[in-house]
């Protein structure tokens, strides 16, 4: 999330909207955002995990999501998926690259 925050101005200047979704509670999300200076929306999918299930990113046997980034175009079509479980910097860098490509 910090990587996305570092790139938020450039992403938004390209027309992107950024949101994070996790299985953490609303209170936990708010505390995380505040302590890390996150200015974009962090959404809680707790307790039913409906979004996490719908996107197929629930960790098997757990109440948490895998770390996956989805990039959609302006029409809502999924254009890119960044699914690197080890390198968290791959997510904001990959998303920025994808958004730049969409912006033309």
Residue 85 binned pLDDT confidence (cut-offs 50, 70, 90)? very high
Domain 2-103 sits in CATH at: 3.40.30.10
Q: pLDDT at position 17, please?
A: 97
What's the pTM?
0.93
Q: Rounded to an integer, what distance in angstroms lies between the CA atom of residue 49 and that of residue 91?
A: 21
d(CA 41, CA 38) in angstroms, rounded, equals 8
pLDDT tens digit string along 17-75?
A: 999 999 999 999 999 999 999 999 999 999 999 999 999 999 999 999 999 999 999 99
* pLDDT score recorded for residue 8: 98
CA distance 71 to 49: 20
Alpha carbons 51 and 41: distance in angstroms, whole number: 15
**Residue 103 confidence (pLDDT):** 95
Neighbours of 59 (CB within 10 A): 13
């Amino acid at each position: 999330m910090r990587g996305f925050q570092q790139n938020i101005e450039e992403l938004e200047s390209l027309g992107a909207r950024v949101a994070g979704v996790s299985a953490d509670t609303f209170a936990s999300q708010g505390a995380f955002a505040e302590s890390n200076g996150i200015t974009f929306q962090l959404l809680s999918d707790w307790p039913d995990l409906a979004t996490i299930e719908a996107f197929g990113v629930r960790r098997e046997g757990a109440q948490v999501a895998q770390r996956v980034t989805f990039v959609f175009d302006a029409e809502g079509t999924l254009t890119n998926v960044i699914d690197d479980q080890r390198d968290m910097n791959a997510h904001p860098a990959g998303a920025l690259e994808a958004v730049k490509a969409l912006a033309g």
